[in-house]
A and B are shown apart, each in its own frame.
Chain A
Amino acid sequence: MVTLDEVLARRNMTLTQLSEAVDITLANLSILKTGKAKAMRFSTLEAICQVLDCQPGEILAYQPE
């Protein structure tokens, strides 16, 4: 599961601002945030972590079904 929301809230950042900073469309970030994405590129993960100054584990979590 993607916990991007929590990190964004901690950083006082909106999804639109993140979208501009990482150069990924708002639509794609919304897909990622809502957990509808099938996969994530390392480059995307790197860009998000760089902008949010966080580790991948802070925006991704495993939740058993």
Chain B
Amino acid sequence: MQNRDRLIATSRIVVRLAMVVNRLFLLAVGLGLAASFLFDRPVSQFLVRSAPGVDGARELVGLRCEALIGLVMAVATDRLLVALGRMIDTATIGDPFIAANARRLRTVGWSLLVLQLLDIPYAMFSRYFPNLGSGGDGDYSVGGWVAVLLVFVLSRVFASGAAMRDELEGTI
């Protein structure tokens, strides 16, 4: 029991920390995207300087698209972490089997699906804009898709469990 409490407390801290880091990332990418429009010439020149021979204008478009994907990914990750954080909060109180958590689990599923789908264009960028240093390696893991499916199935199981518990609570 004490181990479980420690696990929940640790998870809570990790999720909060991840939320802060992700929001900082979101802010940084947002600022970067805005800067690519405000200072397009210096940014383009920087891109050409870091990879001589590339088309600066083309690289700039690639950079903006990549930043846009990064923004959407960060928003999806934020939704996921907020839902996860609230679920952990309910576990801390000792009452996690509620309908709201089933909805939160569904939110986690949708967020994971968005992240999985965004992996595809992100991997394409690594092929078309190799100089931008995109993290996408084009390796679509089956595990990620299975995880999405698993979370959606779990959310249904959770919803049924919460409804059953509600009914049991109203049984005299």
Contacts and interface: CB of A to CB of B under 8 A. Distances in A.
Interface of A: 24, 28-29, 31-32, 36-41, 44
Interface in B146-172: 166-167, 169-172
Given A31-B170, A44-B172, 9 more contacts: A37-B172, A38-B166, A38-B169, A38-B170, A39-B167, A39-B171, A39-B172, A40-B171, A40-B172
12 contacts: A24-B172, A29-B172, A31-B172, A32-B172, A37-B170, A37-B171, A38-B169, A39-B170, A39-B172, A40-B171, A41-B171, A41-B172
A32 B170 CA distance: 9
Contacts, number: 24
Size band of the interface chain B makes with A: under 10
Contacts of B167: 38-39
Nearest to A27: B172
A41 B169 CA distance: 12
A40 to B, nearest CB: 6
Contacts of B166: 38
A32 to B, nearest CB: 5
Contacts of B171: 37-41
A49 to B, nearest CB: 14
